[in-house]
Structure 1
C-alpha cells in the first residue's frame, strides 16, 4: 500500500477533496466544510463505538485533504485531477505519462506543496509525496439528510454550465487524437466493493444511520450474501439551482435501498461537476491500467441547524475512510499480500 511506519506495518494514504462555493446559493459548500475539518490521521476507535466489539486490524491511516476547495468548473477539475494522482504515477513509463494531455490553469494549486510553500522543505526531506491507496471526492447533493456513495461515473452528457458559465464542450473534441479521455469507456465504475463498504460504514455510523429502513443491511442488487433486498427508491429529484441561463440542476441519484435509508449507494452522480471529477479520477487510473480505488460521497447541500450536518459529516467520512481501509486490508489478506 503506502509507506512503512515505525512499527514495521504499512501505512494507508487517503486523498480527500471537497468543492468550493456554488454560486450565491451556497457560499459555504458543505463538502469543503467537512473535508477541511478532518484530522490528518484516522483516530482510534472510541470505547463502545457502535458495532465494533473487536474491530479488525488496520495500520495507520493518513488523511491527505487537498488544501483548498476545488473551484466548481470543468477547466479547473480537468487540470487538477492528473496532478492530484501524480504521486501514484511517479514510477510509470515517462513516455506514457507525457502522452496524457493536460490543461494549464492557475485557479487551483497543483499540490499541497504548491499551495503551502512553507511545507516545501519538509516535503523535500521526505523525498516525495506518498502514493494514495484510495481517494474520496466529496460533493453536495440535495437538502435531504442522505449520504450517498456513488458506484459509477459518466464520460458524456455534461450539458450544464459550470459556475463560470462555461460548458464542457467535449463532444467537439472527442474525435481528436489528443482528447484527454480518448479510448475511455462511456461509464467507469469504482473497483472498491461498495456493498461490503456500505455494510461496514453503517456499522461505524451513529445508531440512526446504521440500519436499512427496509429492515436489512444490504441494498437491492448488492453482492453481499444472505441479506434482504431493499425496495428500490427510484429516481428522486435532489436539487435545482437557479433556472436562469445555464442554471445548474441535479436530478436525484438512482438510489438502491429503502426510502428512509440515510447511508446509501447511488448509481447516478448527476452529470455535473461531482460526476465529472469522479470520472476524471477513475479515467486517470483506467488509462494507466491501475486499480480504480476511488469513491465519490454526496452529502446534503445544507449545513444543517448550527452546522449539525457538518459535524455528522465529519464522523461519517471518518467511518467511510475506516470502512474502505478495512476492505483494502481484507483484500490484501485474501491475496496473501499482507505483511503482518
Structure 2
C-alpha cells in the first residue's frame, strides 16, 4: 500500500457484511447468504481491462468481514445480534475484555483492533432482476410474523424508559451518499447491468413481488408475493398484481441497479433500522447500507458469481466515496 493511499500510510478500510438464512420451505438457500458467504476476505484489485474506468482512484486495502453465519430471519435474533456486531466500534480497545465471551461466533471474524468503516446488510427481495440499495429504514409498522411465528410487539414496549429504541426517530437514513455511490456502482457492474431504458420511470404496477411484507398492502406491503402471489411470509393468496417491497424506486424503467426508498417493514427493514439506530444512539455516522437481491437467484453458480461481482462493486464504490469524503472533509472517519 503506497503513500498515495488517501487514508494514508498503512491504514485499511474494514467492511462488515451480513446475509440472511433460510426462509421457510420456499427458500431453503437464501441468495443473500449464498452471495455473502462466498466473498473473499480482501477486495480484489480491478481487472486490467475493467470497462468502468481507465485509471481507477486509489483506495487502501479493503477487508471484508462476513458475519460467520446466516442470520436467522427473526426479530429476536436480529435485535440481540446487531449491538454485538457494532460493539467493537464503541469499545475502548485498551480496556476490552479478553474473556471467552469476546471470542464468540459473533466476534470471531471481526477485526481485532480496528473499527468497521461501513457495513452492508444483504437480504432477499422479489423476483424482478433488480438490485436495490436502500436509502432509509423504519422504526415502526412491523405487523408480520417472522419465521418463528413471532410478532415484534414493540408497541407494548415503546412507553418504557428502557425500550431499545427510546428517543430514536421513526425513520433513519444512511449517511452514505447513495446517489454518488449508485453511479460508481453501475460503472463497476457487468455490461448487462449498465444499461438503462429511456422509457420513463417505473410505475407501481411494474414493481414485482413484495418479498418483504406480503400480507399487507400499501407501502412496504405489496399485494402479492412472487409473480404468482407467493411472498416471503409464505402467503399464497396474493393477487399476482404485486408491487415491489416499496412504492419508491429511483431509476428509469429497465434499470437493474437502483435506489429504493422503502425496504418493506419486515426483517430486511428491521436489521437495517437496527444498525442505523445503533449508530444513531452512539452519535456515530450512519455508514451502512442495505442491499436487496432478487429472490430468484437461488443457488445457480452463475447467478451467485454475478451476485458476488455486484457486491464487490458496491463495496468498492462505497470505499471510493469514503476516500473522497476524507479528502474533501480533511479527516473523516
TM-score by length of 2: 0.82
Work out whether 1:335 is the aligned partner of 2:329. Answer: yes
Counterpart position of 2:78: 77
Write the deviation string for residues 25-50 of structure 1: whole angstroms up to 9, x where unpaired.
00000000000000000000001112
Q: CA deviation at 1:232?
A: 4.6
> Whole-Å Cα distance in 2 between the matches of residues 53 and 157 of structure 1?
46
Counterpart position of 1:225: none
Counterpart position of 1:162: 146
Q: CA deviation at 1:308?
A: 2.6
Work out whether 1:285 is the aligned partner of 2:289. Answer: no
- Give the length in aligned residue pairs: 294
Contact 1:190 1:293 in 2 (8 A): yes
**Matched position secondary structure for 1:85:** helix
Write the deviation string for residues 56-77 of structure 1: whole angstroms up to 9, x where unpaired.
0100000000000000000000
Contact 1:50 1:205 in 2 (8 A): no
Contact 1:233 1:255 in 2 (8 A): no
Q: CA deviation at 1:310?
A: 1.2
Q: CA deviation at 1:311?
A: 1.1
Work out whether 1:252 is the aligned partner of 2:236. Answer: no
Contact 1:250 1:272 in 2 (8 A): no
Work out whether 1:238 is the aligned partner of 2:209. Answer: yes
Structure 1 residues 292, 23: closer, same or farther in 2, change over 3 A?
A: same
> Whole-Å Cα distance in 1 between the matches of residues 254 and 299 of structure 2?
20
- Tell me how large the CA RMSD over aligned residues is: 2.7
Structure 1 residues 336, 172: closer, same or farther in 2, change over 3 A?
A: same
Work out whether 1:316 is the aligned partner of 2:317. Answer: no
Q: Is 298-307 or 326-335 further displaced after alignment?
A: 298-307
Write the deviation string for residues 126-153 of structure 1: whole angstroms up to 9, x where unpaired.
8x34210000000000111110000000
Structure 1 residues 305, 68: closer, same or farther in 2, change over 3 A?
A: closer
Contact 2:133 2:290 in 1 (8 A): yes
Counterpart position of 1:224: none
Counterpart position of 2:188: 204
> Whole-Å Cα distance in 2 between the matches of residues 300 and 157 of structure 1?
23
Q: CA deviation at 1:9?
A: 2.9
Q: CA deviation at 1:338?
A: 7.8
Contact 1:29 1:140 in 2 (8 A): yes
Unaligned runs of 5+ in 2: 96-100, 211-224, 226-230
> Whole-Å Cα distance in 2 between the matches of residues 232 and 143 of structure 1?
16
Counterpart position of 1:220: none
Counterpart position of 2:15: 14
Write the deviation string for residues 269-295 of structure 1: whole angstroms up to 9, x where unpaired.
000000000000000000111000000
Unaligned runs of 5+ in 1: 95-109, 216-229
TM-score by length of 1: 0.80
Q: CA deviation at 1:336?
A: 2.1
**Map 1:1-340 → 2, pairs under 5 A:** 8-91=9-92, 113-115=103-105, 128-214=112-198, 231-234=201-204, 236-239=207-210, 240=225, 241=231, 242-243=234-235, 251-253=244-246, 254-303=248-297, 306-337=300-331
Counterpart position of 2:217: none
Structure 1 residues 58, 74: closer, same or farther in 2, change over 3 A?
A: same
> Whole-Å Cα distance in 2 between the matches of residues 171 and 9 of structure 1?
47
Q: CA deviation at 1:251?
A: 4.7
> Whole-Å Cα distance in 1 between the matches of residues 114 and 271 of structure 2?
21
Structure 1 residues 40, 250: closer, same or farther in 2, change over 3 A?
A: farther
Write the deviation string for residues 60-96 of structure 1: whole angstroms up to 9, x where unpaired.
000000000000000000000000000101139x9xx
Q: CA deviation at 1:231?
A: 2.2
